[in-house]
Every structure is written in structure tokens, then in C-alpha cells.
């Protein structure tokens, strides 16, 4: 059953240009239908995992010779993240994308993006991971430039240059590994590396992978492209980029390589924790002075991804669980915030916070959902962001990293301040100017925002059962470390 996660979106991407020749409206129906089907299957995959780790051999060839697809706890978590946000942003797009010309191309690229993201998550082979990563990247470069305004093109070109450098570094790292162990199957590489004598090659690959995936994640020394690229895209695409893309092709791929292939050790731990601490503090400090709604959110993405990387870098079971839980929560509230920003821009044609005029009366749904998302990202109980931050902070104290824990707390406070500013200027403050013609956004956009807000609340209230069913298997998959190889190759 595993290949359907790639086949459905890839098939949709192929069929959309054809069916839209028959009728223009069919494109969005097909894309939404495909995404809904994907969401259904990814929810079902939670129960598939009960019978243990699943491996699909492409063409019946066994690893290490053939290509395989693997479903473990981490994969299930990422499939949920990709497909929940993918499905809801496509629902949002139904009304939003009418403002752009050629929606067919948008839906085609979007399905291609989903195919790439699902492929990265499900692939059990390092080169296939790279191929799907490039599919994702190319689709997102094109979608960032989708508006074809001067700024969009400029941001997309910047993203393209840095993204290509990242991909090339990753490919060089894969080449180095291939040269030293002569195999590309992740399980087989990890087994060969653990028995090989030369440790220098591992360090060299580690540096290449941290640079490459660090650029894709936008950790702080490598973050220059993100604040340009994420705001330039159409709002649903911004939500996808911040909510899903940087996590899948960045955090997931990095975690998979570091934990399951190279093997976690104290060096990696200190690199990741320090990069996490620097990202979260620099990101939030740059965010607080921003007046552009979407740009502010983009800087917050850097900061929140810092939490995820910090949690993973602690390397303790609690730290990894906190990091992964924060990854899931961040995808919910950050996409919701980007959709809110899109709704504000859709209704007023403006996203400069100081030029907005308290919209809470005119746009009650957008205002309420953005309040939930803001409280969630700032970590106010009982919303979802609170639990994951709490777990990360406790884990940091347990792992004897009080500096990190204190930085986490400070950053959470600055985040709260920053989002109070957003709420005040965008929704609460009323100026003397007369507003006319501003009204709530159309139904599909409202629907997507409300569902995301409800999810934020529900995940917060049912945090413990959610942690047990989804996050714990994912953390176990990473903690299993190099035993991952044994699980796959034995079958």
C-alpha cells in the first residue's frame, strides 16, 4: 500500500492539465479529491503501524539491491503533517487562487509538491530521498515565483540559488557515502558504516549534510533566503512552505540521516543544540521589528524551527518527543497564521501591520482563529504550543542544559510580545479612518482556517493521548538509531 502516497499526487499532477482542457473547474476538484484521499490514507497509516514496521520492495527486489519504501513511526508523523496541511491549504486555495491567472498550473505544481514531500518521507533509499527532495524544491521555487511580481521573482531567484547549493552539497555527501560503502539503501549504509574503520569520511559527510540540510531548514547561519521566499509566495503556498516543506526536506531528512544512518553521538548533539539555540534567539529578535505580517511570520518560523532542532539535539527520549511534538504543532499554528495573513491581504489588499485598521469587527472568523494561533505559538495553556514547549524545557533541564532551557523560556516571552503586537495592530486597534468594503473572506478560506484552529485546540486538550499514539512511535523510530538497519534488512 505504501506507493499510493506517491502515486496519487503524481497521478493528479499528470491528469490536472488534461482534465482542465475539458473543463477549467475540474482541476481544483481533482486536486482536492487527491489531497483528501491522501489525508484518509495517512490517518489510516497510524493503524498499519500497529503490526510493526512496514517495508515495500519496489519491483520485488530485496534491499540492498532494490529500492524500498519504509513506513515507521517517524514516517507516519510526517505523512500526517504533510497531508493535513496539504489538504486544508488546497481547500483554502479554492477561493484564494481565483485572483491569480492560470489556476491549473498552480494545482499541477501543488500536486507535484505533495508527491515530492510524501516521497521524501516514505523513501528508504538515500538517492531516492534526494530525487524527491529535488522534486519538492523545484515545485516550491516555481510556486514562490507564482505571482510573477518583481519581488516574487527576486525572492524565488535567491531561494533557487541557495536551494541549489544545498542540494548540491547533499548530493556530494551522498556521493562520499556511496564511494566509501558502495550502497545507497539507508539501512545498508548504516550497517556498513558501523563496521567500517574509517571515521573521517563520516565526519566529512556530517559536515556536508549539516550544511545542506541546514540550508533547507534555514537554521540561522543559513537563513537568508527564508524571510524573502516565504512571504513572496501565494498565501496557501506560504503556509505549505513554513508549515511543511522546511520540516520535511529539512528536519525530517536531517533527523533520518543523523539518527538512523550516521548514528547519534555527543558531537552531533552539541552542534544541533547550539544551532537550535542560536536560531531561536536570532529568529525571534529579527521578527519583533517587522511590520510586514507575512515577513514577521517567516522570521518566527526560523525561531520555532530552532526549538525543534534544539529538542532533537538533546537526544534524550523526552527531548526528541518534545521536538517532534513541536514540529507537528508548529505546522498547525504557523500554517493557520499564514492563512490568516492571506485572508487579511485578500480582504484589505494590504499586509503592513501599521496600515491595518482593527479588523475584528469586519472579519470575526479570521480574527478569532488568528488569536487562537497566536496564543498557541506563544505557548499559552491549554493550546497545543504550550505542551510541546513545556516538554522541551523540562527535557533541557533533565539533560543538564539549563542555558538552553532559559533561552527557550525567554524566546517564548518575546514571541508572546511579538504576537500581541500583531493582534493589536491587525485586529484590535481602531483608527479614525473610515473602513469601507472590508468583509469576511469566502467560505472555503473560512472553512480551512476554522478546521486548523479547532485542531490547535483539540491537540492541546488531548495532548497526552496524541503523544502516545503518534509522537511516541516517531520518537522511538529515531531513538532506535542504528537498529533501524536490522529491522529493515531482516525482513
Partner 1 sequence: MLSYVLCLVLFAIGIYCLLVKKNLIKKIVGLGIMEYAINLFFILLGYRSGGEAPILSKGAVGNNFVDPLPQALILTSIVIGLGVTALMVAIAVRLYEKYRTFDINEIRRLKG
Binding region for partner 1 (CB under 8 A): 127, 131, 134, 138, 141-142, 145, 148-151, 153-158, 160-161, 164-165, 167-168, 171-172, 175, 178-179, 182, 184, 227-228, 232, 290, 292, 295
Query: 297 and 284 in contact (C-beta within 8 Å)?
Result: no
Distance CA 346, CA 108 (A): 23
Residue 448 corresponds to which cell in the numbers above?
480551512
Using the minimum distance from each CB to partner 1, give the nearer residue, 209 or 325. 209
Using the minimum distance from each CB to partner 1, give the nearer residue, 94 or 211. 211
* 3 state SS for 295-306: HHHHHHHHHHHH
User: For residue 162, what are the CA distances in angstroms to 166, 168, 213, 480?
Assistant: 6, 10, 11, 33
- Minimal distance, residue 136 CB to partner 1, in Å: 12
Distance CA 282, CA 300 (A): 10
Query: 202 and 262 in contact (C-beta within 8 Å)?
Result: yes
Distance CA 94, CA 444 (A): 6
Query: 343 and 333 in contact (C-beta within 8 Å)?
Result: no
Using the minimum distance from each CB to partner 1, give the nearer residue, 39 or 174. 174
- Looking at residue 424, what DSSP letter applies? I
- Looking at residue 352, what DSSP letter applies? B
Using the minimum distance from each CB to partner 1, give the nearer residue, 171 or 487. 171
- Minimal distance, residue 93 CB to partner 1, in Å: 21
Give the residue among 275, 274, 276, 270 at the shortest CA–CA distance from 315. 270
Using the minimum distance from each CB to partner 1, give the nearer residue, 29 or 178. 178
With b for 16 or more beta-carbon neighbours within 10 A and e for fewer, the 424-459 pattern comes to ebbbeeeeeeeeeeeebbbebbbbbbebbbebbeeb
- Minimal distance, residue 489 CB to partner 1, in Å: 18
3-state helix, strand, coil in the chain (%, to 5): 80, 5, 15
Using the minimum distance from each CB to partner 1, give the nearer residue, 147 or 460. 147
Distance CA 233, CA 297 (A): 13
- Minimal distance, residue 234 CB to partner 1, in Å: 16
Using the minimum distance from each CB to partner 1, give the nearer residue, 232 or 446. 232
- Minimal distance, residue 151 CB to partner 1, in Å: 6
Using the minimum distance from each CB to partner 1, give the nearer residue, 49 or 142. 142
Give the residue among 174, 178, 295 at the shortest CA–CA distance from 238. 295
- Minimal distance, residue 400 CB to partner 1, in Å: 38
Using the minimum distance from each CB to partner 1, give the nearer residue, 289 or 364. 289
Residue 434 corresponds to which cell in the numbers above?
473610515
Using the minimum distance from each CB to partner 1, give the nearer residue, 87 or 115. 115
Dmax (CA) for the chain in angstroms is: 74
- Minimal distance, residue 161 CB to partner 1, in Å: 6
- Minimal distance, residue 117 CB to partner 1, in Å: 16
- Minimal distance, residue 29 CB to partner 1, in Å: 28
- Minimal distance, residue 416 CB to partner 1, in Å: 22
Amino acid at each position: 500500500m505504501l506507493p499510493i502516497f506517491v502515486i496519487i499526487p503524481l497521478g493528479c499532477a499528470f491528469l490536472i492539465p488534461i482534465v482542465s482542457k475539458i473543463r477549467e473547474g475540474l482541476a481544483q476538484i481533482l486536486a482536492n479529491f487527491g489531497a483528501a484521499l491522501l489525508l484518509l490514507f495517512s490517518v489510516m497509516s497510524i493503524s498499519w503501524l500497529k503490526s510493526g514496521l512496514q517495508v515495500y520492495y519496489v519491483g520485488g527486489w530485496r534491499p540492498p539491491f532494490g529500492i524500498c519504501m519504509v513506513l515507521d513511526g517517524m514516517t507516519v508523523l510526517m505523512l500526517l503533517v504533510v497531508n493535513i496541511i496539504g489538504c486544508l491549504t488546497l481547500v483554502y486555495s479554492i477561493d484564494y487562487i481565483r485572483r491569480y491567472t492560470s489556476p491549473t498550473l498552480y494545482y499541477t505544481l501543488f500536486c507535484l509538491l505533495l508527491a515530492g514531500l510524501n516521497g521524501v518521507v516514505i523513501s528508504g533509499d538515500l538517492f531516492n530521498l534526494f530525487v524527491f527532495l529535488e522534486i519538492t524544491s523545484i515545485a516550491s521555487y516555481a510556486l514562490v515565483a507564482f505571482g510573477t511580481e518583481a519581488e516574487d521573482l527576486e525572492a524565488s531567484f535567491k531561494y533557487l540559488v541557495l536551494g541549489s547549493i544545498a542540494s548540491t552539497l547533499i548530493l556530494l555527501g551522498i556521493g562520499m557515502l556511496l564511494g566509501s560503502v558502495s550502497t545507497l539503501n539507508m539501512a545498508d549504509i548504516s550497517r556498513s558504516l558501523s563496521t567500517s574503520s574509517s571515521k573521517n569520511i563520516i565526519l566529512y559527510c556530517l559536515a556536508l549534510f549539516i550544511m545542506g540540510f541546514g540550508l533547507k531548514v534555514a537554521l540561522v547561519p543559513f537563513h537568508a533566503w527564508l524571510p524573502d521566499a516565504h512571504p513572496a509566495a501565494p498565501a496557501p503556498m506560504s503556509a505549505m512552505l513554513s508549515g511543511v516543506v522546511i520540516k520535511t526536506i529539512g528536519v525530517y531528512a536531517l533527523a533520518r540521516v543523523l539518527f538512523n544512518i550516521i548514528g547519534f553521538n555527543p558531537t552531533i548533539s552539541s552542534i544541533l543544540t547550539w544551532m537550535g539555540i542560536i536560531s531561536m534567539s536570532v529568529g525571534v529578535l529579527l521578527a519583533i521589528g517587522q511590520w510586514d505580517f507575512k515577513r514577521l511570520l517567516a522570521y518566527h518560523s526560523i525561531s520555532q524551527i530552532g526549538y525543534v532542532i534544539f529538542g532533537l539535539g538533546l537526544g534524550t527520549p523526552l527531548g526528541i518527543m518534545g521536538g517532534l511534538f513541536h514540529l507537528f504543532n508548529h505546522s498547525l499554528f504557523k500554517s493557520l497564521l499564514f492563512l490568516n495573513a492571506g485572508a487579511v491581504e485578500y480582504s484589505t489588499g494590504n499586509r503592513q501591520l501599521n496600515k491595518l485598521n482593527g479588523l475584528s469587527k469586519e472579519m470575526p472568523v479570521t480574527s478569532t482563529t488568528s488569536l487562537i494561533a497566536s496564543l498557541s505559538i506563544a505557548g499559552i495553556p491549554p493550546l497545543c504550543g504550550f505542551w510541546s514547549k513545556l516538554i522541551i524545557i523540562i527535557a533541557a533541564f533533565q539533560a543538564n542544559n539549563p542555558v538552553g532551557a532559559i533561552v527557550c523560556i525567554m524566546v517564548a516571552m518575546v514571541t508572546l510580545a511579538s504576537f500581541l503586537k500583531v493582534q493589536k495592530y491587525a485586529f484590535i486597534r481602531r483608527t479614525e479612518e473610515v473602513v469601507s468594503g472590508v468583509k469576511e473572506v469566502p467560505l472555503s478560506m473560512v472553512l480551512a482556517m476554522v478546521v486548523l484552529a479547532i485542531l490547535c485546540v483539540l491537540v492541546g486538550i488531548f495532548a497526552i493521548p496524541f503523544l502516545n499514539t503518534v509522537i511516541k512511535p516517531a520518537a522511538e523510530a529515531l531513538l532506535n538509531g542504528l537498529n533501524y538497519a536490522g529491522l529493515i534488512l531482516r525482513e
